[in-house]
Structure formats: C-alpha cells, structure tokens
Structure 1
Amino acid sequence: MQQHPSLLLLFAIGLLVGFFPIVPYGIVSGLFGFLYGWFAGGLLSLLCSTLASLLMYGLVKLTISPHTPESQQSVHPFMQQLQRHAFMAIVFARMLPIVPSQLINITCSIARIPWRIFLLATLIGKLPVMFLFSSVGSQFISHPGRTLLITGLYLLLMIILYRVYVKYQSRRNLD
C-alpha cells in the first residue's frame, strides 16, 4: 500500500501556493494528480486554487478596492471591457495557464466584479486547467505519450473556444 502525505497538509500547501505563487500552480496540481490520481488530484487542485482566489479577491476588496476612486476603475479601456464582459473574460483568463491567477483576482476585485460572477467564472475556467495538470501528473511517468495527447487536446479545445468566442462577438457587434 502506497503512503501519501496528509491530505490536510497538501490542502494547506495548495492553498498557500494558490495565494502566494512560490511555484507555478500547475506543478502543485500535477503533484496532486501523481499522488491521488487525476480525478481526486483535480478536485483537490480545483478546491485549493479556487479558495485561494476567492480569499485574495475578498482581501483586496476589503483593503484596496474601497480606496480606489470609482473614476479610476473604469477609465482604462481594459477595465471597461472587463466590467462589460466579466464572466467570459474571467473564464478565458482562467483557462490560460500563463495568466497569473493573482493578477485576475486583484483586477476583478478592483473592478468591483460581483463575487458570484467571479466565483462561478473562476470555477468554470479553472476546472479544465486543474484537471489537465492533474492528469499530466498522474500519467507523466507511466504514460508520457498520453501526457502529450492530453496537452494537445487541451490546446485544441482552447483554439476552438477562442474561435467560437470571436465568431460570437463579431455576430453580436453586427446586431
């Protein structure tokens, strides 16, 4: 029988790394997948990273956001787009592992995105990424070919979703 580190200890580490990016979170998620399998590792990754995001969002909302003048929150075109298309912007940003989670958390809090939209979009956006990294971790040693296949399929999914979104936006702009 294989010995695993304490689940509570790993949860604390996952939460800590989600809040303070000591290492890329994909490594933590891959480790969870390696230790607990793709499904349990993916769930643990999703729970830890989402909770860390929600805590940071709340902390910024309580400390920094109240001191940001409303005039500065929507001056920049990026902030205007974020406020107008918050849900989809958060989902897509979360699905791109190169976008730092902390940047998303802080920006959404300063832009005063409602926490329910933030939470739901965060869960939906993080879901495929956390399970991808967890799957890679669970099969990295035993099936390296599958790891490449899973990663390639994820990249294909991202391209398809992006194209659908662009097509949707162009149709919406015509109306």
Structure 2
Amino acid sequence: MKKLALTVLYIGIAYGVYLYGDSLLAWFQQANNPVITTLMATFMALFPVIPYPIVGGVIGAAYGPLSGGIITWIGSSMASLIMFIFVRYGYQEWGAQFLKKYKRTEQVTLLFERNAFLVILFSRMIPIIPSIFINIYSALSRVSFMVYALASSIGKVPAMLLFAFVGDNLVSDPKNLIVTIGVYAIFFSITIFLYRLWERRYRT
C-alpha cells in the first residue's frame, strides 16, 4: 500500500506539471525572486515532464548565465536528493531483491557500489544519461547518501551551467552559443577520456 500510494502521488503531481507546463515556463521568464525560482526549479526537476535543459535555459535567460546556472544547479541537485530519499524509503527492499534476481545485474551492481563516487560523478557529466535513472539506481543500491550527494552534486555543475549559458546566449548574443557548446564539448571529451583511462587501470 505504501509503494502504491507513493507511486500514485508522484504520477498525479507529474500529470499536473504536464497540464500547466506552459504556464510554469512563462512564470520562469518573468520571475524576479531567486529563492522562489530555486524552489520551483527543484519542483520541475523532481517531476521532469518538461525536459530540465529547457527549464535551465529559461532560467538562464531570465537571470543571466552565472546566477541562472547556480539556481539551475541547486534546483537539480535538491531534486536528485529528494528523489534518492523517496526511492530508498519506499522501494529499496523491493529494488534490492530485483537487482539480485539476476546474476548479471547483481555483478554490475556490486561493481557500481565499489566505485559509486566516480561512476555517479562521470554519469552526471554525460547529459545523454537520464538523471532519473541515476537517481533510482543509486537509491536501490547500497550506496550511502553522503557519497551519492557529493558525487551527484559535483557532477551536475558543468551541465547546469551549460543549460543556463545556452539560454542566456539565445537571448543576448546567439553567436556565443557556438563557443559555449564548443567549450562543453571539449570538457565532455576530457571527461570521457579520463573515465576510460580510469576504467582501463581498474580492469588491469
């Protein structure tokens, strides 16, 4: 009953965000209170019906690249921590049984738990990996909250700043958009290189 109630509650709120998504984005464009905007950013990241890069871009356009990036980062980080606690409290027992059900998934989970900080850190830096997948998988595993919180929050910094810079550049100077994406592409390439280097050393 607890699992069912939590699931229904989450789906219900997400549906509400879906219905009023356009109004929420319009509100972000006119927002002038950083605290309330941060709380709303957390809410939008917690219920990602609207892709968070869009939310981050709108916030960046409204507050500028630096302030917008900080607000976007705090909102995303807080949402990931709330989701972690939500899943761990409501579903970890069931999830642990599922992860141990198959030998392959159990081996992958054990490897993940041994190197949780680095895996979470690098996963956050790769924007194509769904954030919600990292949140749920980490919560179902035995990764400690502190390790998850640090790795997740640090790893989110580059992507959140990128979203805000893109949004600001689209409004102020679209020409800078190419430079912004280029810088992130270089940063992303370096991250992948370091991760593969670490992976090779670990295997040997």
What is the deviation of 1:71? 7.7
2:129 is the alignment partner of 1:99: yes
- 1:40-69 deviation per Cα after TM superposition (whole angstroms, max 9, x unaligned): 111111111111100010011111003344
- 1:88-119 deviation per Cα after TM superposition (whole angstroms, max 9, x unaligned): 11111111222221111110000121111101
Which consecutive aligned stretches of 4+ in structure 1 deviate over 2 angstroms post-superposition? 3-13, 66-75, 171-174
- 1:17-46 deviation per Cα after TM superposition (whole angstroms, max 9, x unaligned): 111112111111111111111111111111
What is the correspondence of 1:1-175 to structure 2 with a 5 Å cutoff? 4-69=31-96, 72-73=99-100, 75=103, 76=105, 77-174=107-204
What is the deviation of 1:12? 3.2
CA distance in 2, matches of 1:27, 1:86: 29
Distance 1:28 1:170, change over 3 A: same
Structure 1 counterpart of 2:89, which letter?
Answer: L
- 1:110-150 deviation per Cα after TM superposition (whole angstroms, max 9, x unaligned): 01211111011111110011011111111112221211111
CA distance in 2, matches of 1:169, 1:29: 31
**What is the total number of aligned residue pairs between the two structures?**
172
Distance 1:120 1:67, change over 3 A: same
What is the deviation of 1:14? 0.9
CA distance in 1, matches of 2:98, 2:31: 51
CA distance in 2, matches of 1:48, 1:56: 12
With 70-79 and 107-116 compared, the bigger mean Cα shift is at 70-79
SS of match in other structure, 2:142: coil
Q: Give the TM-score, by structure 2 length.
A: 0.77
Q: Give the TM-score, by structure 1 length.
A: 0.88
- In the alignment, structure 1 segments of 5+ residues that lack a partner are none
CA distance in 1, matches of 2:99, 2:31: 49
Q: Which has the higher helix share?
A: 2
Structure 2 counterpart of 1:65, which letter?
Answer: Q
